Amino acid sequence: MEARFITPFIQSVQNVFSTMLQLPMQIGEPRVKAGKNTGYDVSGIIGMSGDVVGSVVLSFPDDAARRVVALFAGEELGTDSPDFADAIGELVNMVAGGAKANFDGAKVSISCPSVVVGSGHLIANTSDVPVIEIPCMTDCGEVAIQIAIKTNANAPTQAASASA
């Protein structure tokens, strides 16, 4: 994966957490996630299409997810509540949307988010894209951003720039 995609996600997740949750975030060293891609207990997943394709995951341990959702939604919610999934989905939506705005003019659409709840769940990505994980630490606990995206060589604007 191209390094130019990493910084927009770091900036975006810090912006989302500080603006919507008033929650400062310390960013750890990005790393390639080797082996099977397991998430924590709660993951918000969003797809990207267009000039950049792939998926982005915001994954939380159970306790961190509950605390973050309580801050965002203004009330404590159980993980089985539809409103809990809604809140996690909106967070990953804002993180992905903010990041793609800084992809150097690439035209990218994002999907409606999905949310998975369950300890140690496996997240299947396309095999040709390495998963980069960015560990983040907040006062509510750990959060991990997992990015598995690549430039889409077949996208119309990419094809146009390649032939120009």
* Contacts with other proteins, residue ranges (CB under 8 A): 15-16, 19-20, 72-74, 82-83, 86-87, 89-90, 93-94, 96-98, 100-101, 107, 110, 112
Residue 155 Cβ, how far from other proteins at the closest point, in Å? Answer: 15
> What's phi and psi for 129, nearest 5 deg?
-120, 120
Residue (107 or 121) nearer to other proteins, CB? 107
Q: CA-to-CA distance for 103 and 84, rounded, in angstroms?
A: 30
Helix (H) or strand (E) holding 97: helix 82-100
Residue 20 Cβ, how far from other proteins at the closest point, in Å? Answer: 5
Q: Is 31 helix (H, G, I), strand (E, B) or coil?
A: strand
Residue (33 or 113) nearer to other proteins, CB? 113
Which residues on neighbouring strands pair with residue 42, listed in sequence order?
60, 117
Residue (59 or 93) nearer to other proteins, CB? 93
Residue 32 Cβ, how far from other proteins at the closest point, in Å? Answer: 27
CB of 72 closer than 8 Å to CB of 89:
no
Residue 94 Cβ, how far from other proteins at the closest point, in Å? Answer: 5
Residue (114 or 125) nearer to other proteins, CB? 114
CB of 48 closer than 8 Å to CB of 100:
yes
